[in-house]
Amino acid sequence: MGQDMAVFRGGVAVITGAGSGIGEGLARLAAQQGMRVVLADVALDRAEQVAEEVRAGGAEALAVHTDVAEPEALDRLAAVTHETFGDVTLLVNNAGIETLGYVWELPAALWEKTLNVNIHGAIHGVRAFAPRMLEAGKRAWIANTSSIGGLGIMPIQTSYVLSKHAILSFSECLYLEMQVKKAPIHVSAILPGPVATRIFEDSKTGEDPVNARHREIMRNMLKSDGITGFEAAERILPQIAEGRFWVSTHPETTREFANNRARHLSELSAPSLPPEVLAGLGVG
């Protein structure tokens, strides 16, 4: 794995949502590979704790309070990164939140927050950093965290799922735009499978009993079956280094989701869920 990621050594990594979960794992692993790491998170205390531990291990790290829902915050993140460390080698737009509830019951402010974090956070992350990355003319990497949910459908998680579909299509188009520019910037879409993160602990959940039941099912599933954020990073970062577009923590599951989605679209089937999923939702 070390040789695969030698391309990152001496470079600068910027990771949003780096205070916990996959972002934390990526920050720690990037530092182990000899990168200077900028940890951006809305929870500065978490990011600073990780940064302190990274520095204790001998690497350079900077924690920056960043609410990716605010475009100006990403502009400030880009400015402080370039002032502190210079050109960016690896940008991972990873920050995301989970919101559960029927689409007509979520307050407008919660809809806006979810979409601003999950979609606009990546869009404005690229907008803030890509110009300097292009100007530098060096080999670089941009990775956006989608989800295997970006290849599927699920009620109650509608706001999250649609945001991950959007990130996937955004990444695909960005990949093509870098080709048009003949830029040495590799673009990847990260599609994590079950990873034990804080996403359901930190999620906003409506009062409907179905929402609460679904949240508990998903939280318990991640707790019992999910890999750690660092284990996820160990699977993710080498694939980014190789320049892969599709980056997965669970390749077989990702392929199953992709095949199911392709079949659903090619047959123009009505949306449906497996019986066991419906049972978990209290249907049938």
The residues that are catalytic are 160
Q: How far is CA 34 from CA 30, 62, 199, 273, in A?
A: 7, 14, 28, 45
Cβ neighbours, 10 Å, residue 188: 25
Alpha-carbon distance of 54 to 77, in angstroms, equals 19
Sheet holding 246-248, edge to edge: 61-65, 36-41, 12-16, 90-93, 140-145, 185-191, 246-248
What is the four-CA torsion angle of 283, 225, 115, 255, rounded to 10 degrees? -90
Query: With contact defined as beta carbons under 8 Å apart, do 25 and 233 qualify?
Result: yes
Residue written as tokens 């900028």?
38
From the list 67, 87, 85, 88, the residue with the least C-alpha distance to 76 is 67
Where would I find the H helices in the chain? 21-32, 44-56, 71-84, 108-115, 121-136, 158-180, 209-225, 229-241, 251-266, 275-280
